Structure 1
Amino acid sequence: MIPNTNYKNLKDSYLFYHIAQKTKAYLEQHPGAYLYRMGIGDVSLPLCDAVIQALHKAVDDQAVKASFHGYMPECGDPELRRTIAGYYKKRNADLSPEEVFISSGASDELGDILDLFGRDKKVMIMEPAYPAYVDANIIAGNTIIHIPSGEAEGFVPQPGERDRADVIYICSPNNPTGAVFSRERLKQWVDYANRTDAVLLFDAAYEAFIEDEDIPHSIFEIEGAKTCAIEICSLSKTAGFTGTRLGYTVIPRELERNGMRLNEMWIRNRTTKTNGVSYIIQKGGAAVFTEEGQKQVRERIQVYKKNAKVLMEALDRLGIWYCGGKNAPYIWMRCPGGMGSWEFFDYLLQEIQVVGTPGEGFGACGEGYFRFSTFGSPEDTKEAAERLVKLLG
């Protein structure tokens, strides 16, 4: 048996595993110390009442023969697919339910979706980037074209004259930088993809955090996107489903390459490789899109956005450059005093017990920058911000 030798090309340790090892070592050396964790983007608030009630009802359904459900449709519950298509219409994105596929989460889908493109493809990844984009393509044996971005362009690169790619990753609002793609910039990438026959993989996991009305929530708000884009979204950060796992993917019927419809290909893939997401979880997800569910979800998002405001005010007081925060749950700051990313990580951990994420872990052009997550508790965020001002001021 010959194993997949592409695993040899992966870095020795995954970014967040390395952070966990460092924090573990610190706590072993400082028993009883309390850490202010603003690194990994995991939510801290519980699921909203509307979702909890729906989950309980779904569990009760499974206890009665008349309402019991076994395998669900592989592509998702038809009613939930209709509901999500209706959600898109409110964003001026006209989709049919058959173009919406229910998944177990965006992270899973971002790796699985590569099945549509086969192996030995050229994939364009804008950096700084979510590490899983890179690792999934290394495992698949694809050639990665790294597109660096920086402060000068607000960490939102434009197409320009690029090497041709089969697949292009775009994340907006962006993880890790919190930067958002304007309508004009997205239109440039849509036109570029249509012109070069590439497919855009649009990661919209944080769309619910957008508050500026002129920032698109979906790639399908852009004219021409249906012939070149796939959108992957998640309820993890939108509605706190990090421990529950549910997401959805949109593949338009108009999207074709070499005479093959990617929508039909994905139906074939899902019916081959999955037995569908569980009935209970899908019922919980459906509650997110009810009027009451949307109200409760927005209330939770506002808590995280207030955390972002606290951190942004601290950085403003310190005169430190940053982006993100307003339309995203992440703040991307320049490390002070010319510090390196991991150097700054160790400095904050040792001096004020604050844990963030070194920018270098998101690609070479992230060196010298640092990411804060705003998903912590308001109390911890306030204390961390005060400690940051005292340390750096």
Structure 2
Amino acid sequence: MSAQINKNFLNISQSYLFAEIAKRIRDWQAANPEHASKLIRMGIGDVTRPLPETVVEALVKASREMGVAETFHGYGPEQGYDFLKTAIQNYYTRFHVALEQDEIFISDGAKSDIGNILDLFSVDNTVMVTDPVYPVYVDTNVMAGRKIIYAYSSEENGFLPMPAPEYKADLIYLCSPNNPTGAVYNREQLTAWVNFARDNGSIILFDAAYECFVTGDLPHSIYEIPGAKEVAIEFCSFSKKAGFTGTRCGYTVVPYALKRDGADLNHMWLRRQTTKFNGVSYIVQRAAEAVFTPEGEKQINENIQYYKDNAKIITDTLDRMQIFYTGGKNSPYIWMKCPGGMKSWDFFNDLLEKAYVVGTPGAGFGKSGEQFFRLTAFSTHENTEEAMRRFERIYG
């Protein structure tokens, strides 16, 4: 006998999308060393603004506490410290959503929990994802061997697919504001999905990582929709909200009302976390708590506005050029149609060769992404303006 591998891993792409992009950039830089310094990256959705000063002060203060016996913290609660869960509770009340503390689970980021939550569900479940799609939703389920169906989106439906009989599935992934398209579901549209899940016994896995970019009356949380607590788990992150991509902190909400097969999913998730996760560090959780202080929010909103200003630079250029796009206003992502009907990887190469600008080919996010391209607002004003000057000069 010998150890048997999980052969489902052989069914996923052997190169993660952003690893392939990084390889192409390295090859281009090696072939064009004289232009390497001109490269502007607008592809990967990583923040560029530093952590707000209030957050840094909280990190420093908590670090010093760890060096004193009276304030030292060892293992913390796997589900997170009460001080941070209380701050999150208070944040949700702004959207008229009431959460119990023990419905909130602190994590090291939304990406981890989006994959880990699948421990609660049988591999016999059918999964629905929207297409284009954040690759993690697909790859984690392919690794487990689940059947996946796709709700395809397009220019015609504004890249916001709606429920249809053929989309009946046990698990439904929704992301709003969407990565990669930047499109945002309104209340009526989210209500339709919640009702669809209730009618079919489905569970919605709702990724709200970009809710901080939402303005107006658009929902920040799926729990703003009546009945959603009975059918939805919500994932959120401090990565884009507060620049924690290198600090790592997020949270998942599993409501008490969410039950299946006589089991309480909140209790199941607690049991899973206490077995497989030792929690986020005290230092990082104190930093996350500072995000919700008045001064922390002021500084964080300044950073978010900075990225929104970059998004406007991009969308103003596309408007002048009469190029179709979604996103930008309520999202850091702009999902644009490739000029001249180019395929997305062809446009990636063309943009890199001619403008020295890097974006993300839409085909990397699924079948519906062909002939589309994602740009991000996570750059400096200067680089964003320069990138769009080059873009307009070449394709205008």
- TM-score, normalised to structure 1's length? 0.99
1:307 aligns with 2:317: no
1:94 aligns with 2:90: no
Supply the distance in 1 between the matched residues of 2:167 and 2:245 (Cα, whole angstroms).
36
Please point out which of 291, 295, 300 is paired with 2:294: 291
Aligned to 2:155: 151
Aligned to 2:27: 25
Aligned to 2:362: 359
- Asked if structure 1 preserves the Cα contact closer than 8 Å seen for 2:113 and 2:235, the reply is yes
- Asked if structure 1 preserves the Cα contact closer than 8 Å seen for 2:151 and 2:167, the reply is no
1:4 aligns with 2:16: no
1:317 aligns with 2:299: no
Give the counterpart letter for 2:28 in structure 1: Y
In the TM superposition, what are the counterparts of 1:167-182 in structure 2 within 5 Å?
A: 167-182=171-186
Please point out which of 234, 243, 247 is paired with 1:244: 247
Supply the distance in 2 between the matched residues of 1:55 and 1:260 (Cα, whole angstroms).
39
In the TM superposition, what are the counterparts of 1:29-68 in structure 2 within 5 Å?
A: 29-32=31-34, 33=36, 34-68=38-72
In the TM superposition, what are the counterparts of 1:186-205 in structure 2 within 5 Å?
A: 186-205=190-209
Unaligned runs of 5+ in 2: none
Give the counterpart letter for 1:320 in structure 2: I
Say if 1:386 and 1:163 are closer, same or farther in 2 by CA, change over 3 A.
closer
How many aligned positions are there? 392
Q: What do residues 45-99 of structure 1 show as CA deviations (whole Å, max 9, x unaligned)?
A: 0000010000000100000000000011000001111110111111111111111
In the TM superposition, what are the counterparts of 1:208-219 in structure 2 within 5 Å?
A: 208-211=212-215, 213-219=216-222
1:369 aligns with 2:363: no
- Asked if structure 1 preserves the Cα contact closer than 8 Å seen for 2:150 and 2:167, the reply is no
Alpha-carbon offset, residue 310 of structure 1: 0.3
Moved >6 Å (runs of 4+): none
Give the counterpart letter for 1:313 in structure 2: D
Alpha-carbon offset, residue 146 of structure 1: 1.1
Alpha-carbon offset, residue 12 of structure 1: 2.5
* Secondary structure, counterpart of 1:150 in structure 2: coil
Alpha-carbon offset, residue 164 of structure 1: 2.4
Give the counterpart letter for 1:64 in structure 2: V
Give the counterpart letter for 1:314 in structure 2: T
Aligned CA-pair RMSD: 0.7
Give the counterpart letter for 1:281 in structure 2: V
Aligned sequence identity (%):
53
Aligned to 2:77: 73
Unaligned runs of 5+ in 1: none
Supply the distance in 1 between the matched residues of 2:122 and 2:50 (Cα, whole angstroms).
39
In the TM superposition, what are the counterparts of 1:102-121 in structure 2 within 5 Å?
A: 102-121=106-125
Supply the distance in 1 between the matched residues of 2:331 and 2:348 (Cα, whole angstroms).
22
Aligned to 2:330: 327
Alpha-carbon offset, residue 163 of structure 1: 4.0
* Secondary structure, counterpart of 1:112 in structure 2: helix
* Secondary structure, counterpart of 2:79 in structure 1: coil
* Secondary structure, counterpart of 2:346 in structure 1: helix
* Secondary structure, counterpart of 2:130 in structure 1: strand
Please point out which of 231, 234, 248 is paired with 2:234: 231
Supply the distance in 1 between the matched residues of 2:186 and 2:21 (Cα, whole angstroms).
32
Alpha-carbon offset, residue 319 of structure 1: 1.0
Supply the distance in 2 between the matched residues of 1:122 and 1:161 (Cα, whole angstroms).
14
* Secondary structure, counterpart of 1:151 in structure 2: coil
Supply the distance in 2 between the matched residues of 1:237 and 1:134 (Cα, whole angstroms).
22
